[in-house]
């Protein structure tokens, strides 16, 4: 791990994993994982029946079949009892989302997955820093996915962590083989539309973060014009955004004194 990637040390320690990979979105992390595990045609992936559409579409993209499982009434997360009923001979993976700030009954799900030799993925995008039976959410499964577009007002960035060096290496090779979409000035209006929307909603923190995003975007373009795109550290790029979001949330009470008409409690979620 390079010194420029030290921003991720706390995250991989928190999930009790040794390796991490960053992507543009969580769906990209999940896609690389499915490909690295060899999940494909006619394989089955157990997922919560109520979740982000991109999860289901990613499974279908590799040719596999999403198996929808209802929630547990106590946690509103995927039910361990119903997971048992949904497992079949083609089941390759269980995707657990700890939603609504509530951790699923993950110890029971781990037992089910281990007994049947099934891969287990934890998505802690909505429960970062939550714990279950004294252990952090994200430390139970074989893989942990964290989307940075949920709690930190970010519009891009996701991380997948694991202790499986072989699968991690496969994911890294796959990622290196996919073309990277170049940053072009034509994409700048997308950020400007969001900035106008944030201004219309009078959301000071979101305005500040979008301005920061635009500045970083322009720096990326200039970097690509001077050197090859591969020389730019995208891990550092994503985590610099992440750090600013944490700073804004930590000091929002002081920002309120400066700009009283604005609101600071709009922590939206999106796929």
* Across 96-103, average pLDDT: 92
CB atoms inside a 10 Å sphere around CB 254:
8
Choose among 79, 56, 132: nearest CA to 101.
132
CB atoms inside a 10 Å sphere around CB 14:
18
CB 24 within 8 A of CB 158: yes
The span from the CA of 42 to the CA of 45, in Å, is: 10
The beta strands (E) that lie in the chain are given as 19-23, 44-48, 65-69, 91-97, 119-123, 131-132, 135-136, 143-147, 158-162
| Predicted confidence (pLDDT) at residue 32 exceeds the cutoff of 90 | yes
The reported pLDDT for the residue numbered 131 is 87
Q: How far is CA 27 from CA 58, 136, 189, 206, in A?
A: 7, 22, 24, 24
Residue of higher predicted confidence among 171 and 239: 171
| Predicted confidence (pLDDT) at residue 171 exceeds the cutoff of 60 | yes
Residue of higher predicted confidence among 24 and 87: 87
The reported pLDDT for the residue numbered 200 is 53
Q: Which of 55-64, 108-117, 165-174, 212-221 has the lowest mean pLDDT?
A: 212-221
Sheet with 44-48, strands from edge to edge, namely: 19-23, 158-162, 143-147, 119-123, 91-97, 44-48, 65-69
* Across 4-29, average pLDDT: 77
Q: Which of 67-71, 123-127, 259-263 has the lowest mean pLDDT?
A: 259-263
Max mean pLDDT range (38-52, 122-136, 170-184, 229-243)? 38-52
Choose among 54, 80, 56: nearest CA to 69.
80
Q: What is the pLDDT of residues 73-87, one digit of tens each?
A: 889 999 999 999 999
Burial class (CB in 10 A: 0-12, 13-18, 19+), 155: middle
Q: Which residues contact 234 (CB under 8 A, 6 or more apart)?
A: 22
Q: How far is CA 16 from CA 32, 33, 163, 164, in A?
A: 21, 18, 8, 12
Q: What is the pLDDT of residues 174-209, one digit of tens each?
A: 988 876 655 555 556 655 655 565 555 555 555 666
């Amino acid at each position: 791990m390079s010194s420029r990637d030290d921003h991720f040390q706390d995250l991989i320690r928190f999930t009790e994993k040794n390796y991490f990979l960053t992507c543009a979105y969580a769906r990209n992390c999940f896609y690389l994982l499915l490909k690295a595990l060899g999940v494909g045609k006619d394989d089955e992936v157990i997922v919560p029946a109520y979740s982000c559409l991109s999860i289901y579409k990613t499974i279908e993209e590799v040719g596999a079949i999403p198996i929808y499982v209802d929630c547990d009434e106590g946690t509103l997360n995927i039910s361990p009892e119903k997971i048992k009923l949904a497992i079949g001979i083609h089941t390759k993976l269980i995707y657990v989302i700890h939603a609504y700030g509530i951790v699923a009954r993950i110890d029971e799900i781990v037992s089910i997955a281990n007994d049947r030799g099934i891969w287990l993925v934890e998505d802690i995008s909505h429960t970062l820093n939550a714990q279950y039976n004294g252990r952090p959410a994200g430390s139970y499964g074989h893989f942990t996915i964290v989307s940075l577009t949920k709690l930190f007002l970010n519009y891009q960035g996701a991380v997948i962590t694991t202790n499986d060096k072989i699968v991690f290496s496969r994911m890294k090779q796959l990622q290196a083989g996919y073309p990277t979409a170049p940053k072009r000035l034509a994409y700048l209006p997308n950020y400007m539309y969001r900035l106008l929307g944030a201004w219309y909603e009078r959301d000071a923190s979101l305005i500040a973060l979008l301005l920061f995003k635009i500045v970083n975007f322009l720096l990326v373009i200039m970097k690509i014009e001077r050197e090859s795109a591969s020389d730019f550290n995208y891990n550092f790029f994503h985590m610099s955004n992440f750090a600013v979001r944490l700073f804004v949330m930590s000091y929002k009470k002081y920002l309120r004194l400066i700009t009283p008409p604005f609101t600071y409690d709009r922590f939206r979620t999106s796929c």
